[in-house]
Chains A and B, each alone.
Chain A
């Protein structure tokens, strides 16, 4: 029964993936990369003066609007600490959980040493 349910769920997932893939293959591409290629070097040198009026993909618009909103040059940091700051707080909790696990697992070695010494003395 359990294996049957597992296969039914996997089949539903496979059908959903196939349907969505076929549906998405008929969409128009969001950015063909032909009319105005984004020069990454110019963007890096002078991000504020980049022309984002043309529909050349998301890069120019992202850099321009990010500079207007946060005044931070590094887009990744501004996303991690500003627009997705709540997610970063969760990552910090993951770190503190890992450290707590390490302290719990490895912190009791002194007591074990003393116990071993006591047993050896006896």
Chain B
């Protein structure tokens, strides 16, 4: 008990190692695994129905922070960095922005102005309707998703470093 009196004993669960990786509390991990698919489906729904219902690219992309935090809570820092790859995400954000600009340039190539809606409009209320609005929404959602993943993983890394310094 004398070793643990500097912190909350509830947070300092004994570490279990399985397959060479440290596994956190089992209840915490199972709860996060249960909620994780629901969160992913919710993110996909909000992004795909951005032009039909409230929501859209920005709102759905920022919900990805919840997914990252669930993985971080259930599986720890190493696992979340291994899954989400912040270095790759930083480059993927540039790719998403290039994708957005290409779709915006479709209007120029079609003989109109930037961001002109000249693709197939589709029926009112259908999923693939709205022409370029749908695809620009996907591009912005990917952009915000990758950006929020990089930001949250960077902040969690700072948390880890400060914990290591204060622990020693």
Binding site for B on A (CB under 8 A): 48, 67, 69-74, 76-78, 80-83, 85-86, 88-89, 91-93, 95-96, 98-100, 102-103, 106-107, 109, 113
Contact = CB atoms under 8 A, between A and B. Distances in A.
Interface stretch (B21-29, B35-43, B73-81, B93-101): B93-101
A102 B136 contact: no
Contact of B147 (A48, A81, A99, A107): A99
Interface stretch (B5-13, B47-55, B64-72): B47-55
Nearest to A106: B154
Interface residues of B, number: 44
A67 to B, nearest CB: 6
A96 B93 contact: yes
Nearest to B53: A74
Contact of B54 (A67, A74, A107): A74
Contact of B53 (A73, A83, A91, A92): A73
A98 B158 CA distance: 16
A72 B53 CA distance: 9
A54 B161 CA distance: 64
A92 B115 contact: no
Instruction: In the A-B complex, list the 5 residue pairs whose CB atoms are closest, starting with the nearest.
Output: A85-B115, A72-B130, A72-B51, A71-B121, A81-B136
B157 interface: yes
Nearest to B146: A99
Nearest to B152: A102
Contact of A86 (B97, B104, B150): B104
B114 interface: yes
Contacts of B100: 88-89, 92
Contact of B124 (A48, A85, A109): A48
Given A48-B124, A81-B133, A99-B93, 12 more contacts: A70-B133, A73-B53, A78-B51, A78-B133, A81-B136, A82-B115, A89-B100, A96-B93, A96-B97, A103-B90, A106-B155, A106-B157
A96 B94 contact: yes
B131 interface: yes
A103 B131 CA distance: 35
